[in-house]
Amino acid sequence: MAFRKTVFLLLCFGIFLGNRGLRGVAATAPDRVHTEYLQDLSRVKELGQKRNLEGLDRLASKLEEKWFAKNKEKYGYLMLAICGTLGSRDFTTERQYELTRKYAVLVLEKSRRLEEQYQIPIEVEFMLCGHVQDQLNLKEAVKGEDWASKRAELAKLYFHAWHRLERLSDENWDPNDPNIGTPFGPPAGYKGPGGSWMPPERITDPTLRAEYEGAIAEFRNQHKRHSEQRRLRQLKESHLPYLQKDLLRLYSGPLFNSKTLEEEALQKDMERGIKDHDVRLSILNGMRKTLRKNNLPLKANGRDARRKRSKTRPMAPAYK
């Protein structure tokens, strides 16, 4: 509990730092939305500090509906803050974890049904997946007659996040691309004073100016894509292993100790939720690899020979 609490407090601190205050005297519409977002985030923090579980539940229900309609990106970060509060504060009742799972599943389910450009940030999606099984007793859950369908419903949330990461990642991306960061100068044929990142307005020739503006736009798009791919690579390295372990836990019954894999059930559920055969194969191979890691023997000194794992999951990046 203490470690999870620390991570969540750092997360909230990061969200606040990542959101800059208003700049300028007159507030624009985005500024007003941003201010409203920070105010709602403060309300969540206040109720968490007061250990007011019922009040937080009521607020979460209202904010979930409000921000889903208003701004999907802020919606994702705000609901992550709510789940983090519910899962990390000590409300002295198991109901806090039921609510954590409820809101995490609700947000993930609603987001995955949207077009890609309207979905919550992928980093937030991975972090919310970490709350899907928060303090969930699978040994009790499996006793229900509809366990197979319940497991499939949970698993498809993990499948979506993993599939999304695979779909957005470019295997040919070069993190050391020499063209990224190269100083940008005026176009060939320009005879006036110039230099790197010269304003297009200095070019009087309309053809050369249009060429220069197009080159600037292309340069910025390349930088944006490069940053996105770097972010996805980091996500795959830092967050995907935790998602894989959570998914393995779902399919390691009846003990749910992540030491076995119910491969037939996994493949059946993947076929229902993922049309792309290559993605299904990638997920299956990833699960097999995770299983092998979990079954490595311990070293003589008693330390686990598997991948070293920190005491807490990685933090979600601050909202930008």
pLDDT tens, 57-103? 999 999 999 999 999 999 999 999 999 999 999 999 999 999 999 99
Same domain, 124 and 143: no
Q: Are residues 62 and 169 in the same domain?
A: no
In this structure, the answer to whether residues 277 and 132 fall within a common structural domain is no
Instruction: Provide the domain limits for residue 248.
Output: 138-320
| Distance, CA of 6 to CA of 133 (rounded, Å) | 20
Q: Based on the fold, state whether residues 30 and 123 are members of the same structural domain.
A: yes
Domain end position, chosen among 121, 136, 151:
136
Q: What is the pTM of this model?
A: 0.81
Amino acid 107: pLDDT = 98
Q: How many domains does the chain have?
A: 2
Domain boundary residue, one of 91, 111, 136? 136
Identify the pLDDT of residue 297. 77
Q: Are residues 275 and 148 in the same domain?
A: yes
How far from chain centre, in Å, is Cα 39?
23
Residue ending a domain, among 108, 136, 164, is 136
**Looking at residue 178, what is its pLDDT?**
78
Asked if 122 and 152 sit in the same domain, the reply is no
- Residue segments in the chain with a per-residue pLDDT below the cut of 50: 1-10, 12-14, 16-26, 300-311, 316-320
7 and 129, same structural domain? yes
- Cβ 48 vs Cβ 85: under 8 Å: yes
Q: Please answer whether residues 57 and 99 qualify as being in contact, where contact means their C-beta atoms are separated by less than 8 angstroms.
A: yes
Length of the chain: 320
- From first CA to last CA, the distance across the chain in angstroms is 28
Residues 50 and 155 in one domain: no
Identify the pLDDT of residue 320.
42
Please tell me whether residues 146 and 122 are part of one structural domain: no
pLDDT score, position 299:
52
Which pLDDT score is estimated for 314?
53
**Are 27 and 64 contained in the same domain?**
yes
Which pLDDT score, from 0 to 100, does residue 27 have? 54
Residues 19 and 70 in one domain: yes
Query: Quick one: 155 and 285 in the same domain?
Result: yes
Q: Looking at beta carbons, which pairs linking 126-129 to residues 24 or more positions away fall under 8 Å?
A: 126/161, 126/165, 126/235, 126/239, 126/240, 126/242, 126/243, 127/80, 127/239, 127/313, 127/316, 128/76, 128/79, 128/80, 128/83, 128/104, 129/104, 129/157, 129/158, 129/161, 129/243, 129/246
